[in-house]
């Protein structure tokens, strides 16, 4: 049986959906004011693997991942650039979707936008007000009365006494308690007109936390089977979601809470606020992507390398970003593709009776342990290489597909240039030979061999190797090539 680590209970639990065979999963998505970075990629890929395995396990999944399209950062970006809020969000939503496609991330079943659910947010705020859990302050903001909700802190493990004013919760003089958080923000005169909605509390806009309470309840009902998100959402966002939803409706918001681990850079979390981030498109684009385009030319070898870099680690563990770690991921992925290039894979799908498939399944059923699943892939690659086994290669490709890996044609994969290899990092920006030039040299080498000028043939092979091109002579005179 599938076991999932529940952040709320702090233990692994057998996964039992509220309705047998059906999974209602809600994951907090992006605030769309900038390009996604590799830390965002970790969240996107991690929950993509989760939904893939749930479906592979025979479960019907309704996967909802929201978009926050109204927020202080979005307003600031609109004012800075002189664009309307909708223009800013549409641009960065398109950019996010381009990044997802590049990384092989399946679209969620539904992708609601916060601005579509303002009415539902106001309904929840009204219920909280009736129950004495919300109040309108003198500055016009509507706040949640944290001390009125008995279970506050149960997800994060923080107690009210531990939460001192000025640390994680902003102090506001109009609040009854500095720990209270905003449900509805009163409109400011200087804010753009398209950031203001009519409400019983006057013109304003929703706070961040209330958005997800409204969207998850409206689309999936209660309780959710799985609620997930990035590591920084546990507190205060998810803690506040629990207070809002359970305070308004009673019962339980979610049976299982999942949080992926952080992507670290020199012991700090990769984030825009720290300025230590690298965008997805900077990492996998062919050439330097322009700042004004939502789509870009993807290097498919490097894009799958980033996905593999994420998947080879357990989703809950901290992961360290360095160029050397990307090089290591690229070299490891190359070894898997080399097995598929060496041995033609059969196309019979997964045989779950086979030992490596069973090991793969056992790993994934143990809290989506993709690291253990990848280990099974390497065992299959070794087996395929040793015995030239089409069945082992077929298992390798089919199981890799369950992780969103190994679906490219091996020859095409290896002919795509990559910066993320020892040779590539050393060569830096040196111009790459294009496919036509490489083929011309291979043809010249074949002609030299036919003329028994083996010295010339060896010189051409050495020239290609110096350019980062490896040759593999096959029976019948066929020569395949790949970029190192």
The segment(s) of the chain belonging to CATH 1.20.120.640 are: 322-415
The b/e string for 403-439 (b: 16+ C-beta within 10 A; e otherwise) is: bbbbebebeebbbbbbbbbeebeebeeeebbeeeebe
Mean pLDDT lowest among 29-38, 93-102, 161-170, 340-349: 161-170
Tokens encoding 469: 């091109």
> What average pLDDT does the segment 125-131 reach?
98
pLDDT tens per residue, range 32-43: 999 999 999 999
User: Helix/strand/coil (H, E, C) string of 43-66?
Assistant: HHHHHHHHHHHHHHCCCEEEEEEC
- Judged against a pLDDT cut of 70, whether residue 71 lies above it is answered with yes
> Over the chain, what is the mean pLDDT?
91
> Any binding-site annotation on 237?
yes
Q: Phi and psi for 270 in degrees, rounded to 5?
A: -65, 125
Mean pLDDT lowest among 46-55, 203-212, 419-428, 450-459: 419-428
Query: Which percentage of the chain shows pLDDT scores above 70?
Result: 95
Sign of CA dihedral 200, 203, 205, 209: negative
Name the fold adopted by 322-415.
1.20.120
What SS3 state is found at 249?
A: helix
CA distance 210 to 75: 18
First to last CA, the chain: 42
> Any binding-site annotation on 28?
yes
What SS3 state is found at 309?
A: helix
In the CATH scheme, what is the code of domain 3-264? Answer: 3.40.50.620
User: What CA–CA distances, in Å, run from 450 to 218, 443, 444, 445?
Assistant: 72, 10, 10, 9
Tokens encoding 296: 């870009």
- Judged against a pLDDT cut of 80, whether residue 428 lies above it is answered with no
Contact in structure between 312 and 328 (CB atoms under 8 Å): no
CA distance 169 to 314: 31
> Any binding-site annotation on 212?
yes
User: What CA–CA distances, in Å, run from 203 to 15, 70, 121, 211, 234?
Assistant: 44, 15, 14, 17, 30
CA distance 36 to 93: 10
Between the CA atoms of 399, 404, 409 and 412, what dihedral angle is there, to the nearest 10 degrees? -140
pLDDT tens per residue, range 196-208: 999 999 999 999 9
pLDDT tens per residue, range 257-290: 999 999 999 878 888 778 888 999 999 998 777 6
pLDDT tens per residue, range 50-59: 999 999 999 9
Segment (H or E) for 472: strand 469-473
How would residue 480 be classed by pLDDT, with cut points 50, 70 and 90? confident
pLDDT of 164: 60
Q: Whose structure tokens read 């830390």?
A: 39
More confident residue, 125 or 466: 125
pLDDT of 168: 47
How would residue 166 be classed by pLDDT, with cut points 50, 70 and 90? very low
- Judged against a pLDDT cut of 90, whether residue 11 lies above it is answered with yes
CA distance 324 to 316: 22
- Judged against a pLDDT cut of 90, whether residue 86 lies above it is answered with yes
Contact in structure between 248 and 35 (CB atoms under 8 Å): no
The segment(s) of the chain belonging to CATH 3.40.50.620 are: 3-264
- Judged against a pLDDT cut of 80, whether residue 477 lies above it is answered with no
């Amino acid at each position: 049986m599938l076991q999932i680590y529940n952040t709320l209970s702090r233990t692994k639990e057998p996964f039992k959906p509220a309705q047998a065979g059906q999974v209602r999963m809600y994951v907090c998505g992006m605030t769309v004011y900038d390009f996604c970075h590799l830390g965002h990629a970790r969240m996107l890929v991690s929950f993509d693997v989760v939904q893939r395995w749930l479906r592979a396990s025979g479960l019907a999944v309704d996967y909802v991942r929201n978009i926050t399209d109204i927020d202080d950062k979005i307003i600031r970006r609109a004012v800075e650039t002189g664009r309307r809020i909708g223009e800013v969000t549409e641009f960065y939503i398109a950019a996010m979707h381009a990044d997802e496609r590049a990384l092989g991330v399946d679209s969620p079943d539904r992708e609601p936008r916060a601005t579509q659910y303002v009415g539902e947010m106001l309904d929840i705020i009204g219920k909280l007000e009736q129950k004495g859990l919300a109040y309108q302050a003198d500055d016009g903001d509507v706040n949640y009365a944290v001390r009125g909700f008995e279970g506050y802190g149960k997800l994060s493990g923080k107690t009210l006494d531990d939460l001192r004013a000025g640390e994680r919760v902003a102090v506001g003089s109009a609040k009854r308690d500095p720990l209270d958080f905003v449900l509805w923000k009163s409109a400011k005169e200087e804010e753009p007109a398209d950031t203001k909605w009519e409400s019983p509390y006057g013109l304003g806009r929703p706070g961040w936390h209330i958005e997800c309470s409204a969207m998850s309840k409206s689309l999936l009902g209660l309780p959710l089977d799985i609620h997930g998100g990035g590591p920084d959402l546990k507190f205060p966002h998810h803690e506040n979601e629990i207070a809002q939803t359970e305070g308004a409706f009673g019962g339980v918001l979610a049976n299982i809470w999942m949080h992926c681990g952080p992507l670290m850079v020199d012991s700090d979390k990769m984030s825009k606020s720290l300025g230590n981030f690298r965008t997805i498109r900077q990492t996998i684009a062919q050439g330097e992507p322009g700042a004004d385009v939502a789509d870009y030319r993807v290097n498919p070898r490097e894009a799958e390398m980033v996905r593999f870099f994420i998947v080879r680690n357990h989703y809950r563990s901290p992961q360290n970003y360095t160029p050397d770690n990307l090089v290591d991921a690229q070299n490891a992925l190359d070894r898997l593709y080399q097995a598929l290039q060496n041995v033609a894979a059969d196309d019979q799908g997964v045989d779950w009776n086979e030992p490596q498939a069973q090991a793969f399944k056992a790993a994934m059923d143990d809290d989506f342990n993709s690291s253990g699943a990848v280990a099974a892939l390497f065992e299959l690659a070794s087996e395929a290489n040793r015995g030239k086994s089409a069945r082992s290669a077929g298992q390798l490709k089919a199981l890799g597909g369950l992780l969103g890996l190994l679906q490219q044609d091996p020859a095409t994969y290896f002919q795509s240039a990559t910066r993320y290899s020892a040779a590539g990092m050393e060569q830096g920006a040196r111009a790459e030979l294009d496919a036509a030039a490489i083929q011309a040299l291979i043809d010249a080498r074949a002609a030299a061999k036919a003329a028994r000028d083996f010295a010339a043939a060896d010189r051409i092979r050495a020239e290609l190797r110096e350019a980062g091109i490896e040759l593999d002579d096959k029976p019948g005179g066929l020569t395949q090539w790949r970029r190192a």
